[in-house]
Chains A and B, each alone.
Chain A
Amino acid sequence: MLRLEKRPQPSQLWTVVTPILAVFLTMIVGGIMFALLGKPPLEAIKVIFWDPLFHEQFAAYSRPQLLVKAGPLILIAIGLSIGFKAGIWNIGAEGQYIIGAICGAGVGLAFYPSESVLIFPAMVLAGAAGGWAWAMIPAVLKTRFGTNEILVSLMLVYVAQNVLISVSSGLLRNPEGMGFPGSRNFKQWDAAHNAELIANTGMHWGVVAAFIAVIGAYMLMSRHIMGFNIRLTGEAPRAARFAGVSPTRIVFFCLGLAGLLAGAAGLFEATGPAGQITGAFNAGYGFTAIIVAFLGRLHPVGILLAGLLMALTYIGGELAQLMLNLPGASIQLFQGMLLFFLLATDVFTNYRLRFGKKGLV
């Protein structure tokens, strides 16, 4: 008979092994799924994981996409992971991302057509502030009235989406856009354009911000007392209180930081790859970042790798739809499997499998 036995300490080895194992299990089960759909499984997995980077025909287009897609995922996931470490479940990064983009774009457009070099930095600050403010709503409600931040932050996503639809056909609509919804195109306005920093790499300011966030989060969590207090709050709330940590401050800090980074990510996206604010400019990065945060074990370096992997499956998934006619739903299923297997294998970090007869304590 099989049984699970709690390890005296979490296994260092398994912390590293589980993500790799999860990727392999996803490949195997995903391959079976592709086979059942009547597609060659090995071919499909190669298209998803290999071709985006090395296919001779498509790679030139898809390689830069890796950083374009990974940038916002990493930036948002870093903010979320810090809250998750403290047991604060911000599910509404998508909303903070949207509001950040709207606020940043709004501030920029107010100065149109100025060509000042201060325009873009001001927009970034406004975007971050917008995301922060949106995240303060669940923070205030949680600390004041004890509401559940999961529900509040999630519902605020839907509010934000409606605000987005409203402003893109109202307040921020392009006056020269012949009545079509959507803001001015930032790609045509140099002062506000978040352009590629190195041609054909996909590297823009948002990706730079993501890398800085990874390093900053690593320093915060492993060296700074604030990071220590955040981890302590998540692992043993009573011990945190005993140590003198204020739970209210942790809630404000974690939600605020996540909102800040998500808002900035939204602005970088709106002024860069997306180019304008439209009713559908958001691509679900805020939700996918939750998966990235967990796939990366809530560790900054892990999130960096997980963000790149997730971006790869996105691009590869699109490629697979194109080249193999795989249905889009199967790609989403494939990505879902990744999270499922990660959580399933995670149990081995804290437990070990024992064979033999069940014994009572």
Chain B
Amino acid sequence: MTDVLLRLEGLTKAYPGVVANDDVSFDIREGEIHALLGENGAGKSTLVKMIYGLVKPDSGTMTLRGAAFEPAEPRAARAAGVAMVFQHFSLFDALSVAENVALGMENPPKPRDLARQIRDVSETYGLPLDPGRTVGTLSAGERQRVEIIRCLLQNPRLLIMDEPTSVLTPQEVEILFETLRKLASEGTAILYISHKLEEIRSLCDHATVLRLGKKVATCTPADATARELAEMMVGASFETPQKAERPLGEVMLDVRGLSLPAPGAYGTPLREISFQVRAGEILGLGGVAGNGQDELLAALSGERVTAADVIRLRDRPIGTMGPTERRALGVLSGPEERLGHAAAPDMSLTENAVLTGARRMGLLSGGFVNWTKSKGFAEDVIQSFDVRTPGPGTAARALSGGNLQKYVIGREVLQSPEVLVVNQPTWGVDAAAAAAIRQALLNLAAKGAALVVISQDLDELMEVSDRFGALNEGRLSEIRPVDGLTVDEIGLMMGGAHDMEVAHVDG
């Protein structure tokens, strides 16, 4: 247990304008689950990319079981026994599980042997998976199992997992943790990257905390509180958003029996979704990615239209209206995908302000854009939401993800919506900025707006919402008050562990 598997000494990697890793050293021992903790942009990804041979360090050394370890490419890292499960899956929707696994192997065995191996591994580690199924039909949790099994077939000494639980229900997280503990007990070391503190406290033996590219601490997470870990990560204490007591007003948004066919081959159809949101209320909608979140936002924003009566604003049917008309009435939205959906990448921030603010902010006169006024609105957003950018003339794609997120949310909030629908409002944003965005959403509700917050971050939903519902395969669960809701109940609302029943039959 105490032998050092991988030793990192003084690893440094600089990119133009930023030092991603600065003199990082720590040890990963055989059979331990080691957490790598840090905010977005702290250098976690760069560090594991160096271990996996995707990036070459500028200086510093790595030693694997006493021998120098300098992987020039991922293939070399895999040969040395390092495997990695990425946050974003690299799977082909149209191919079967076995075919996808074979594509990632150096010398794939015959299809029949491979299918047997996949079954063996999936049974041994409690990861139910049918090798013959098409990946396009799998849930996110099952897709992750494909990636994990692909790694396990190589008998790795070190398994790197990048934010593995962001796509899982609480029940699926438990299954994953069981698997990881079993692997660790057999001697495989696991480097576990996350910013979810409770998970790390329950799963990991040691944690290395990175902040701005530097190692700031190594600790035993079970001995620290989540608050302490968070402060190590952020480097300062920050204010938790405050939920003020809000009187609930009239019903603002009323959705009754919203059904829409899937937009594409692997999209999700919406099935009989009904809910109401009152003035001053925040409805939180959870669920694993790909269960109808994008589709619901498109239906509420007006990008896809429905029958008039299905969606009502203050009892006025708005289902047939497009985004422009709905905006005029005060129904605003913020989609999940920042670049290309909420904002046009190559256009300036001023132009992106016109994108949704044109009419509501009075930026048009006689069909002509008043660019001076538009620039003023863009500057307002930049200032109010602390967007770090040289100015409103900057192209949207030049902003970091978090800054652009602040910009697109701020753009909607400053237009004083009556109803605001946002999907993943703090995705990829650092903790302090996320807290600021959540506070802005709470303030908006306090002023009497009705909010629908769609998110995969359960902590976020618990923090801001008054009532909670979950999307599962395009259906909306029963909606319940957040107070008194337990994690188990939430997990069941999200659909429990996907396809566990199937697994029992197979097993």
**A residues apposed to B, CB below 8 Å:** 8-10, 223-226, 228, 231-232, 235-236, 238-244, 246, 359-361
Tell me if B499 counts as interface (CB < 8 A to partner A): no
Please report whether the interface of chain A is mostly helix, strand, loop or mixed according to DSSP. helix
Find out whether the CB atom of A8 lies under 8 angstroms from the CB atom of B364. no
Residues in B whose Cβ lies below 8 Å from that of A242: 301, 303, 323, 333, 335, 341-342, 355-356
Find out whether the CB atom of A225 lies under 8 angstroms from the CB atom of B55. no
Chain A residue with minimal CB distance to B395? A9
**B residues apposed to A, CB below 8 Å:** 49, 54-56, 301-303, 322-325, 327, 333, 335, 337, 340-347, 351, 354-356, 358, 364, 367-369, 371, 394-395, 397-398
Q: How far is the CB of A260 from chain B (nearest CB, A)?
A: 19
Q: How far is the CA of A241 from the CA of B398 in the complex (A)?
A: 22
User: 14 A–B contact pairs at CB < 8 A?
Assistant: A9-B397, A10-B395, A223-B368, A223-B371, A225-B368, A225-B369, A235-B344, A235-B345, A238-B341, A242-B303, A242-B341, A242-B355, A243-B358, A244-B323
Find out whether the CB atom of B344 lies under 8 angstroms from the CB atom of A236. yes
Find out whether the CB atom of B395 lies under 8 angstroms from the CB atom of A243. no
Residues in B whose Cβ lies below 8 Å from that of A9: 346, 394-395, 397-398
- Beyond contacts A244-B322, A359-B55: 18 other A-B pairs, Cβ-Cβ < 8 A, are A8-B395, A8-B398, A223-B368, A224-B367, A224-B369, A225-B369, A226-B367, A228-B354, A228-B369, A232-B355, A236-B343, A238-B337, A239-B341, A242-B335, A242-B341, A244-B302, A244-B323, A359-B56
Question: A244's contact among B327, B342, B371, by CB below 8 Å, is which?
Answer: B327
Find out whether the CB atom of B344 lies under 8 angstroms from the CB atom of A232. yes
Residues in A whose Cβ lies below 8 Å from that of B49: 360
Residues in A whose Cβ lies below 8 Å from that of B340: 236, 238-239
Chain A residue with minimal CB distance to B363? A225
Q: How far is the CB of B89 from chain A (nearest CB, A)?
A: 18
Find out whether the CB atom of A360 lies under 8 angstroms from the CB atom of B55. yes
Residues in B whose Cβ lies below 8 Å from that of A359: 55-56
Q: How far is the CA of A8 from the CA of B364 in the complex (A)?
A: 29
Q: How far is the CA of A8 from the CA of B395 in the complex (A)?
A: 8
Residues in B whose Cβ lies below 8 Å from that of A238: 337, 340-341
Residues in A whose Cβ lies below 8 Å from that of B56: 359-360
Question: A10's contact among B55, B327, B346, B369, by CB below 8 Å, is which?
Answer: B346
Residues in B whose Cβ lies below 8 Å from that of A244: 302, 322-325, 327
Find out whether the CB atom of A232 lies under 8 angstroms from the CB atom of B394. no
Question: B346's contact among A225, A235, A246, by CB below 8 Å, is which?
Answer: A235
- Known contacts A223-B368, A239-B342; A231/B347 CB under 8 A: yes
Q: How far is the CB of B388 from chain A (nearest CB, A)?
A: 14
Q: How far is the CB of B25 from chain A (nearest CB, A)?
A: 23
Chain A residue with minimal CB distance to B370? A223
Residues in A whose Cβ lies below 8 Å from that of B341: 236, 238-239, 242
Q: How far is the CA of A228 from the CA of B355 in the complex (A)?
A: 9
Find out whether the CB atom of B347 lies under 8 angstroms from the CB atom of A235. yes
Q: How far is the CB of B392 from chain A (nearest CB, A)?
A: 13
Residues in B whose Cβ lies below 8 Å from that of A225: 354, 358, 364, 367-369
Find out whether the CB atom of B344 lies under 8 angstroms from the CB atom of A224. no
Residues in B whose Cβ lies below 8 Å from that of A10: 346, 395
Chain B residue with minimal CB distance to A237? B340
Residues in B whose Cβ lies below 8 Å from that of A239: 340-344, 355
6 closest residue pairs by CB, A with B: A244-B324, A244-B323, A236-B344, A8-B398, A9-B395, A238-B341
Find out whether the CB atom of B367 lies under 8 angstroms from the CB atom of A232. no
Find out whether the CB atom of A241 lies under 8 angstroms from the CB atom of B303. yes
Find out whether the CB atom of B356 lies under 8 angstroms from the CB atom of A243. yes
Chain B residue with minimal CB distance to A233? B344
Q: How far is the CA of A235 from the CA of B343 in the complex (A)?
A: 10
Residues in B whose Cβ lies below 8 Å from that of A246: 322
